[in-house]
A = this chain, B = another copy of it.
Amino acid sequence: MADKKLVEEITSMDEDFAKWYTDIVLKAELIDYSSVKGCMILRPYGYAIWENIQRILNNMFVETGHENVYMPLFIPESLLQKEKDHVEGFAPEVAWVTHGGDEKLEERLCVRPTSETLFCEHYANIIHSYRDLPKLYNQWCSVVRWEKTSRPFLRSREFLWQEGHTAHATAEEAKEETIRMLNVYAEFAEKYLAIPVIKGIKTEKERFAGAKETYTIEALMHDGKALQSGTSHYFGDGFAKAFDIQFTDKDNKLKYVHQTSWGVSTRLIGAIIMTHGDDNGLVLPPAVAPAQVVVIPIAAHKPGVLERAEEIYQRLKSVCRVLIDTSDQSPGWKFAQYEMKGVPLRLEIGPKDIENGSCVAVLRNNREKQVISIDNIETEIPKLLEKVHEGIYQKALARREQMTHRATNFEELIDTAENKPGFIKAMWCGDRACEDLIKEKAGVTSRCIPFEQEHVADKCVCCGRPANKMVYWGKSY
């Protein structure tokens, strides 16, 4: 009974996707709300997913030569205003600190929405010679953007992220870095989160405030909406000129540095939920699941069961992140509970299993059951975790393919956007007017111009003029 009740509490995806999402984030205990509007509390289970993301990504950053720093939380108004496009993009959505204790500040400070300006000021201070380059810095912190509406992980007034900021001697090196970090993000999304992504470049309209080019990885959620999951920006020397970041090069000439920035955030947790989750709850990729395996004794009062379950639990500690649940709740309740929490693998061990020297592994993603020999758990469990990863990745990939459509003329585009959730591949002439019109009439935006181009048609889907850029269009979070 208890298990039924638990499952009934989640709204089904098809009934109301938004409600399904909110049910999961709350009932799987990822977050809680507080009296701080638009912000969220990351509870232990939600924060542990972020810690795993941090650990893996941080290693990838270190391997590519980056160093961590910590910049101030505040940005003086005058500093934020130094780069024109940047301040225009961010000023409307920043939180302003105006008082310290009882005193009014001489100059307002904004709570960082992103830290380009702080890194630039610091770089101007510490970069003098080509010997000081490149600077490859990263920061893990929270940032604040005063959004009107909010949804856990997807859009909130404060969120956790990392922001890489690098400075290079040449444009070429900076461009290479921009692509390198985009590739790191794509590899991370696919290899660790099991989320297939489209790599591409943003149109000018969708660029980051102050960037010369913005690259992105775009993922497709269960409901057919796109989620921008990570971005990498090439700044050229625009910020360097605004902040006067110059160095003496080998030829003894004074030159401006070329810069990049790149970031991913707790939004990735939203991507995990909406890519892999189902009507029973979360489905977590094994690489970032706080618990990869839960051991559940069956008929735990029977002699030997608890001892054997405990033995398995102890042995598994050396090969994975494992839990054991010996509470007096029913096995059915426990099954539902850990399915809700998205634990990739559950191991059932009862009297009959013990007689046979085996236990039953159940994969979270498809409920596939496998009887495995207790003798072999240390080698079998990692294989099954790999199988869960592969299973959810392939499923997400197949769904994306199924939900990716083509349109060769405007009518078809509007019809597809209205009736078929997902990505639409269509040609674009490169004109901002067409992009605006497509948004107005079809309700979709350009997600990216993918690196992997495809010749869908000869003409722009909007104006019919010759076009050689294939763009992914879609509704998005």
Contact = CB atoms under 8 A, between A and B. Distances in A.
B47 A69 contact: yes
A254 interface: no
Contacts of A125: 32, 34
B68 A44 contact: yes
A196 to B, nearest CB: 28
A160 B70 contact: yes
B122 A34 contact: yes
B72 A137 contact: no
Interface in A26-78: 32, 34-36, 39-44, 47-48, 50-51, 67-76, 78
Contacts of A50: 70
A21 B388 CA distance: 54
Contact of A36 (B75, B92, B146, B157): B75
Number of copies: 2
Interface stretch (A98-106, A296-304, A458-466): A98-106
A100 to B, nearest CB: 4
B137 A36 contact: no
A70 B95 contact: no
A126 interface: yes
Contacts of A40: 72
Contact of A97 (B72, B96, B121, B160): B96
Contacts of A99: 95-96, 98
B121 A74 contact: no
Interface in A141-182: 141-142, 144, 146, 157-158, 160
Contacts of A34: 71-72, 118, 121-122, 125
A274 interface: no
Given A72-B36, A121-B34, A122-B34, A98 B98 contact: yes
A69 B96 contact: no
A63 B102 CA distance: 42
A379 B59 CA distance: 27
A93 interface: yes
A345 interface: no
Contact of A101 (B42, B68, B92, B118): B92
A13 interface: no
B96 A158 contact: no
Given A34-B121, A41-B69, A47-B67, 10 more contacts: A34-B125, A36-B72, A36-B79, A36-B109, A42-B70, A48-B67, A70-B142, A72-B158, A73-B73, A97-B97
10 contacts: A34-B71, A35-B79, A36-B79, A41-B70, A41-B118, A41-B122, A42-B69, A73-B111, A74-B158, A93-B100
Interface of A: 32, 34-36, 39-44, 47-48, 50-51, 67-76, 78-79, 91-102, 109, 111, 118, 121-122, 125-126, 137, 141-142, 144, 146, 157-158, 160
> When A and B form their complex, which 6 residue pairs have the shortest distance between CB atoms, in order from nearest?
A100-B146, A39-B72, A44-B67, A42-B70, A36-B72, A96-B99
